Structure 1
Amino acid sequence: MARSDATTEATSRLGAVLAPLALAQFICSFAGSNMNVMIDSISKDLGTDVKGVQTAITIFLLVMAALMIPGGKLTVKFGRTRLLTIGLTVYGAGALIAALSPGLGVLILGYSLLQGIGTALLIPPVYILTTLYFTSVTSRAKAFGTISAAGGVGAAAGPLIGGLIASAISWRAAFVFQALVVVVIVLLSRRLKDPLPAEPGRRFDVVGAVLSAAGLVLIVTGILAASVNGWLTVILVVAGALVLVWFFATVRAKERAGVEPLLSTKLFRSRASNLGLVTQNLQWLMLLGTSFTVATYLQVVRGYDPIQTGVVFTASTVGLLGSSLLAGRFAQHRTQKTLIIAGFAMTAIGIAILILLVGTHSTPWAFVPGLLVVGLGLGLMLTPSVNIVQGAFPDSLQGDISGLSRSVSNLGSSLGTAIAGTILVAGLSGGGYGAAMTVLMVGGLVGVVFAALLPKEGKPVPAGEAAQARS
């Protein structure tokens, strides 16, 4: 199907097109990490504890992961720009409800559920529209680089921005801030035109959506229950795995019957994409896991307030932003595989520095070198992983792969918060910090292994072509 004239026009206006898309990714990533610096304030104000706030954060990330695949599929049925607007509306409403929450239950309703659902609806259109608007390899790489950098910076800068707002006004104002940003995005996104028409008659696999979401929810809930009951953890994780097996069995059965399933098995036939999805999962596991662990330790053990905690996290923001901005130059001389390997290695080294320095020094400056290196490593590899996954499939499968890609990334975020957070909370008065960070460091080493298995690529983008992409 031919693209409309709006596609060519939008491509020529790179900044105008990317602004709302990148800002949407920024605010969703911000929502996942800014809560970390407000854990102590929220728990005291709402009469809960660190575990309660951790649960709210994990549910938010989990709802995104569980619903991202259905969200990607709904873009075809309702249209990409329309679903983007619906997602932003739900997200903004959730932010306002969270800002007014009198207790943990309402906070979970507004933040964890509504903002999580809104994110699952609006993020797939962001990546699909980017793929459809930017058709050349270089322009698409630059566009994905901008959006990935916005997401990474949102996650890394979340603690600083959230800390400033919470200290100057209140933690509730941080949610009002998100709602205001959503209004700006809605206004900017009015310029966007859908390159492809919606297909309202397109079948939607409701059973598949329920099974995939249920499987992910059971697994992450099982991890959260580890500090309460070990047997319950085993039961929930096994049950979740069985539900996911059931889900994939229904997918294969529907494909054999000629019925469109929630997720095409074609998405798992690319070795590069499969390995790229694993690297995405591990990257966000380390990013959100490190953010939660360090922020909680600073507030609960060291007694830092939100703004002090946010200032410490400036180091990771600077590192991530710096390496993201230089990613284009690195790509001229190194393959995406090499950048991902280097990124995982650097991130693991940064976490090791955090373990060693924090264990031997009481000054807040002990956190800076490690967080800086972690930020540099993550910024180096976020964009290459997205490029590998999204670039492995044609436009006809972009709805599916975008949903799967974002689901895998957000599952990594929820697992990072659940695993590292559970270990930390269980041993806050002892060696919980060191144990949680060690698990995250191992995740980085595992990432190096999977990145090394990525297939060989062609030569890096020539300098002239890369310069053209930046123009």
Structure 2
Amino acid sequence: MAVRPTPGGADAGASGRPWPRRILAPLALAQFICSFAGSNMTVMINDISEDLDTSVQGVQVAITAFLLVMAALMIPGGILTERFGRKRCLVVGLAVYGVGALLSAVAPGLGVLILGNSVLEGVGTALLIPPVYILTTLLFTDLTDRARAFGAIMAMGGVGAAAGPLLGGLITSAISWRAAFVFQAVVVAVIIFLTRRIEDPLPADPARVFDTVGAVLSAASLVLVVLGILAADDNVWLTAGLLLAGGLVLTGFFGWVRARERAGAEPLLPTELFRNRVSNLGLLTQHTQWLVLMGISFVVATYLQVVRGYDAISTGVIFTASTVGLLASSLGAERFARRRQQRTLIMGGFAVTVCGIGLLIALSRISTKAWPSTPGLLLIGLGLGVMLTPSVNVVQSSFPERLQGEISGLSRSVSNLGSSVGTAVAGTILVADPAAGPYAVALVVLGVIGLGGLAAAARLPRTPAPTRHG
């Protein structure tokens, strides 16, 4: 089913009408603040652990739990978006997120912080992110314009993740770590104000069936897998048991989905989503990209603070290199899309990112100063910025309008699962003893995973060369 053009949508750019910034601004800002929340706490590790009388591992659990709640609930969030309306879910998600941010700002202990940051902000994000991608797909129908819109959104998302340590460090050093959560609440209030300009292009579907059993099974499988990774540094048998349980529950989820389809009932996710080879490869590259990004963010930030003794602002400043690289390459998404195949961009992005990880490892051995981290982080930012947008576009464009809710939820769930797994894997290796040896080991593991992403991208089909303009 073709997506219907809408006033002020993507075709505005192709037909000479003004580019709809009023629509794109709140969508991009929503992705920014959610990505910011996932990474800014990495520079607050010492401050939060001292203030709340907890440990580095306690803060890691809070960060990972936030990312995990997002991943576990993103698929159900995509279905609810279709049932209750895209704009309504966007606004409700923002409101829940804002309440969680304010609760985190006044948290007296780790438990309340987890409730506010990990649970409420995670639930809010799961509700608001699917509408961002569905609305973008529906409102921007021309391929180049959609690439431009996704480029802006992914640029803001990537900058939020990469600049989170810098902004979080600035706010923490100037005021306190609690003020960083107040900042999030203020940005959310601005986004809610800006969403008044957005019109939902399709009506809500109140009759849409919600597969509760499927939602529980999918969420449980993700939680068990990530918990298994987190437990790896304490108990190998517990890890094996959790991973096995996660695999069995996931198998049960797919069995449930097939049974509902055979019975003529609507499952949480239709099996046709998993039969598209191009989309599957695109999802794998998305998962790997965010795993590497969040894993590196946690590893470098923890190492600099715990081992090298840098404060929040110094750690954040070091991450400026990755922010600059990611912003520069993400903002070129439209130009890249006109000149290069999406497969080429994704492969090139992984290659540059892996080279950046290699530089981080090599240069960390020559000096105890901060500057050796800069070239590697810059390359990592450039590489990730090049491939974030084409990976999203590959997946979203693989399905018609009727499946945009499901694929958007699945896409974001896979990406956020990558973020949580990246933090869990990196933290499990590093937290036990964040010295030079484990630091290098964690980076090597992330580099090998990056090479796996490159191999997946290489299997994407070649497409006709885009038409060159100018």
TM-score by length of 2: 0.97
Contact kept? 1:3, 1:195, Cα under 8 Å: no
Q: Does 1:111 align with 2:110?
A: no
**Cα distance, 1:191 vs structure 2:** 1.1
Measure, in 1, the Cα distance between the counterparts of 2:469 and 2:118.
44
Contact kept? 2:78, 2:409, Cα under 8 Å: yes
**1:147-226 matches, cutoff 5 A:** 147-226=153-232
Name the amino acid aligned to 2:419: S
Unaligned runs of 5+ residues in structure 1 are: 465-471
Contact kept? 1:226, 1:422, Cα under 8 Å: yes
Measure, in 2, the Cα distance between the counterparts of 1:137 and 1:10.
12
Matched with 1:384 is: 390
Measure, in 2, the Cα distance between the counterparts of 1:135 and 1:4.
8
Measure, in 1, the Cα distance between the counterparts of 2:150 and 2:135.
11
Contact kept? 1:271, 1:455, Cα under 8 Å: no
Query: Is 265-274 or 393-402 further displaced after alignment?
Result: 265-274
Matched with 1:8 is: 7
CA offsets 1:253-301 (integer angstroms, 9 cap, x no match) = 1111111000011111211100000000000000000000000001100
Deviating runs (4+, > 4 A) in structure 1? 1-5, 10-13
Name the amino acid aligned to 2:119: L
Measure, in 2, the Cα distance between the counterparts of 1:202 and 1:448.
38
**1:223-238 matches, cutoff 5 A:** 223-238=229-244
**Cα distance, 1:330 vs structure 2:** 2.5
Query: Is 441-450 or 403-412 further displaced after alignment?
Result: 441-450
% identical equivalent positions:
68
**1:28-67 matches, cutoff 5 A:** 28-67=34-73
Contact kept? 1:3, 1:196, Cα under 8 Å: no
Measure, in 2, the Cα distance between the counterparts of 1:431 and 1:460.
45
Q: Does 1:250 align with 2:256?
A: yes
Match of 2:440 among 434, 443, 450: 434
Measure, in 2, the Cα distance between the counterparts of 1:394 and 1:235.
39
CA offsets 1:362-405 (integer angstroms, 9 cap, x no match) = 11001101000100110010001001000100111000000000
Q: Does 1:332 align with 2:331?
A: no
**Cα distance, 1:4 vs structure 2:** 8.8
Structure 1 pair 367–14 and aligned structure 2 pair: CA distance change class (3 A):
same
Matched with 1:401 is: 407
Matched with 1:287 is: 293
Matched with 1:89 is: 95
CA offsets 1:289-319 (integer angstroms, 9 cap, x no match) = 0000000001100110110000000000011
Name the amino acid aligned to 1:76: E
Measure, in 2, the Cα distance between the counterparts of 1:375 and 1:279.
16
Name the amino acid aligned to 1:85: V
Measure, in 1, the Cα distance between the counterparts of 2:334 and 2:381.
17
Measure, in 2, the Cα distance between the counterparts of 1:432 and 1:112.
27
**Cα distance, 1:327 vs structure 2:** 2.7
Structure 1 pair 132–15 and aligned structure 2 pair: CA distance change class (3 A):
same
Measure, in 2, the Cα distance between the counterparts of 1:461 and 1:82.
38
CA offsets 1:36-72 (integer angstroms, 9 cap, x no match) = 0111110000000110000000000000000000000
Q: Does 1:299 align with 2:305?
A: yes
TM-score by length of 1: 0.96
Matched with 1:138 is: 144
The secondary structure found in structure 1 opposite 2:197 is: coil
Matched with 1:368 is: 374
CA offsets 1:73-102 (integer angstroms, 9 cap, x no match) = 111110000000110000000000000000
Measure, in 2, the Cα distance between the counterparts of 1:451 and 1:334.
14
Contact kept? 1:156, 1:316, Cα under 8 Å: yes
Name the amino acid aligned to 2:275: R
Unaligned runs of 5+ residues in structure 2 are: 13-18
Q: Does 1:347 align with 2:353?
A: yes
**Cα distance, 1:328 vs structure 2:** 2.5
Name the amino acid aligned to 1:8: P
Measure, in 2, the Cα distance between the counterparts of 1:268 and 1:461.
30
Q: Does 1:22 align with 2:28?
A: yes
**Cα distance, 1:3 vs structure 2:** 8.3
Aligned CA-pair RMSD: 1.4
**Cα distance, 1:428 vs structure 2:** 1.6
Measure, in 2, the Cα distance between the counterparts of 1:2 and 1:426.
52
The secondary structure found in structure 2 opposite 1:77 is: helix
Measure, in 1, the Cα distance between the counterparts of 2:74 and 2:433.
33
**Cα distance, 1:444 vs structure 2:** 1.0
CA offsets 1:398-427 (integer angstroms, 9 cap, x no match) = 000000000000000000000011101122
**Cα distance, 1:10 vs structure 2:** 5.1
